[in-house]
Amino acid sequence: MTSLIMIFGATGDLAKRKLFPSLYRLFSRNRLEKFAVIGVARRSLTNDEFQQSVKESVRSALGNKDNLDEFVSHFYYQSHDVADSSSYVSLRKFANQIDTNYDLEGNRIFYLAMAPEFFGPIALHLKSDGLTDVTGYKRLVIEKPFGHDLESAKELNKQIRSAFSEKEVYRIDHYLGKEMVRNIEVIRFANAIFEPLWNNRYISNIQITSSETLGVEERGRYYETSGALRDMLQNHMMQMVALLAMEPPIKLTTDEIRSEKVRVFRALRTVEGEEVNQYFVRGQYGEGTIDDVQVPKYRDEPMVDEQSNTETFVAGKIMIDNFRWAGVPFYIRTGKRMAAKSTKIVIQFKDIPMNLYYQTDKMLNPNLLVIHIQPEEGITLHLNAKKAGGHLDAQEVKLSFANTGIHAMNTPEGYEKLLYDCMRGDATNFTHWDEVAYSWAFVDRISAAWQQPMATFPNYPAGSMGPQEADELLEKDGFFWWPVSDLEVDVC
Ligand code: BG6
């Protein structure tokens, strides 16, 4: 790949933790043919100091590497004021020079790893100060959050689109870089045994859990304005719902896949006003214990209001009112300071019409297909089979596939794949504006109903799986959350 990558926010956390190590991995796999990186940030640094910090971030993520000097020789630094045109003019000159030195064919990627309030102004400056006047491609990679609600997202989109076309905008949702999230489509559309069953005739409900043990860490200021709804549901959870629910695309092209996802968003049942609390549950963590360590309640975290009404947990029942999914609840739950760090999807199939067999002490288990997104990556199919030596006793057996077990190595980091996709011009695993807009419209109705302070906050102890109401949400439909701890992949 041939590209000049300009990282805005190059001294920030994301650049250090994710972007530099991912670029290094691409480099060491010979996926970067001709490339240079200009790190852009406010503070003043020399090239040497910047290269040193890139080395340190690669070392701390991946250990010591032989070819680090060669890798960082492609990195340059430019101190920059995002609000000042003259800064962009110097950046343009510098970029043109690097472009010539490395023969980068005028290809440019602008990666905005910055606070979101700068996204719009930077995009406008890139155009007005001539950085987007290139002979090759120009692409804008933009981190979340993409707006704070539908209105602000529209405004941001307007600013960005005045400088870049939709095809040039790569809105990151890092869940779409995860190996097993990408695998959802393959599992569905490459297996004759699943696709015929993938509908409301055979599936009783789908459960998506993304739980974290971490609290808000140092991000209290941001999190107070976002909460779990905007931080996790609007993007990552909704993307997983769309991938699970979409129709098979005609072809595996970006446009076809995106348009099928958009059709799912269009079919989401509108839930608003009083109804919201029948479909969604909010939670906020109180103090508790995680891994034997006592942790404080959310309201005692740094930069968090002592009376905060922000939800750190959300569970919900999402209905997709189309022919395939009418009547099948998609339950989602996500939260901070929960009992386990785990992202899993459970597809629960309907019970067979009549049970002939019994397990010794209970009814037959329903068939489950579990997609393990993280930390383990794999698939498990839960079946019933004859108990060895028994007569009419059945027992649950699990067929497991674990990615790590097969390849004996971790799959590439999400950011590595997303960066590579962007360089190749493949926007399939980035979110299209229409997806963003529909998803905000859905979430805005929930947050509007949640303006009212929640008198019972905090309502779940750190180290638990969320408030009681999240369990009741399923119980009233006759279901329960499959405990994530019982669903581990057996192979590791
Ligand atoms: C981010 C959220 O988008 O996703 C964080 O802003 C959250 O609050 C993170 O911790 C979770 O990502 P992962 O990959 O650890 O599940």
> Which structure tokens are listed for 53?
């910090």
Which atom of ligand 1 is found nearest the CA of 226?
Answer: 6
- What angle separates helix 414-424 from helix 179-189, to the nearest 10 degrees? 70
- Of residues 382 and 358, the one with the higher pLDDT is 382
Please, which pLDDT band fits residue 91 given cuts at 50, 70 and 90? very high
**Residue 86 predicted with pLDDT over 80:** yes
Task: Tell me how crowded residue 97 is: count the other CB atoms within 10 A of its CB.
Answer: 11
Which of 351, 347, 315 is CA-nearest to residue 482?
347
Residues 6+ apart with CB under 8 A from 471: 480, 481
> Which structure tokens are listed for 170?
């790569």
Across residues 346-356, what is the average pLDDT? 90
Ligand 1 centroid to 55 CA: how many Å? 25
What pTM value is reported for the model? Answer: 0.95
Residue 231 Cβ inside 6 Å of ligand 1? The answer reads yes
pLDDT digits (tens, 9 = 90+) for 183-224: 999 999 999 999 999 999 999 999 999 999 999 998 999 999
pLDDT digits (tens, 9 = 90+) for 96-111: 999 999 999 999 999 9
Q: How far apart are CA 258 and CA 223, in angstroms?
A: 29
Which residues are catalytically annotated?
236
- Of residues 461 and 392, the one with the higher pLDDT is 461
Q: How far apart are CA 249 and CA 242, in angstroms?
A: 12
Please, which pLDDT band fits residue 35 given cuts at 50, 70 and 90? very high
Q: Which residue has the tokens 């097993």?
A: 180
pLDDT for the residue 410: 46
Ligand 1 centroid to 98 CA: how many Å? 34
Which atom of ligand 1 is found nearest the CA of 144?
Answer: 3
pLDDT for the residue 362: 66
**Residue 491 predicted with pLDDT over 60:** no
Best residue for ligand 1 mutational test, from 231, 240, 410, 417 (most atoms within 8 Å of Cβ): 231
pLDDT for the residue 357: 77
**Residue 492 predicted with pLDDT over 50:** no
Which atom of ligand 1 is found nearest the CA of 212?
Answer: 10
> Which structure tokens are listed for 95?
């970029």
Lowest mean pLDDT among 413-417, 482-486, 488-492: 488-492
Ligand 1 centroid to 410 CA: how many Å? 19
In this structure, the residue with its CA closest to atom 15 of ligand 1 is 212
Across residues 78-97, what is the average pLDDT? 96
Residue 212 Cβ inside 6 Å of ligand 1? The answer reads yes
Ligand 1 centroid to 431 CA: how many Å? 16
> Which structure tokens are listed for 300?
């005692």
Best residue for ligand 1 mutational test, from 173, 175, 179, 236 (most atoms within 8 Å of Cβ): 236
Say if CB 277 and CB 465 are below 8 A apart.
no
pLDDT for the residue 391: 75
**Residue 39 predicted with pLDDT over 50:** yes
Which atom of ligand 1 is found nearest the CA of 374?
Answer: 16
Say if CB 460 and CB 321 are below 8 A apart.
no
In this structure, the residue with its CA closest to atom 14 of ligand 1 is 175
Q: How far apart are CA 315 and CA 233, in angstroms?
A: 9
Which atom of ligand 1 is found nearest the CA of 414?
Answer: 14
- Of residues 414 and 314, the one with the higher pLDDT is 314
Question: Average model confidence (pLDDT) for the chain?
Answer: 94
Ligand 1 centroid to 326 CA: how many Å? 30
Please, which pLDDT band fits residue 409 given cuts at 50, 70 and 90? very low
In this structure, the residue with its CA closest to atom 6 of ligand 1 is 231
Share of the chain above pLDDT 70, in %: 96
Which of 23, 27, 18 is CA-nearest to residue 60?
18
Lowest mean pLDDT among 67-81, 216-230, 364-378, 400-414: 400-414
Across residues 464-479, what is the average pLDDT? 98
Say if CB 7 and CB 54 are below 8 A apart.
no
Task: Tell me how crowded residue 216 is: count the other CB atoms within 10 A of its CB.
Answer: 22
Ligand 1 centroid to 175 CA: how many Å? 9
Residues 6+ apart with CB under 8 A from 133: none
Best residue for ligand 1 mutational test, from 221, 222, 232 (most atoms within 8 Å of Cβ): 232
Q: Which residue has the tokens 């990615």?
A: 403
- Bridge partners (DSSP) listed for residue 295: 288
Residue 173 Cβ inside 6 Å of ligand 1? The answer reads no
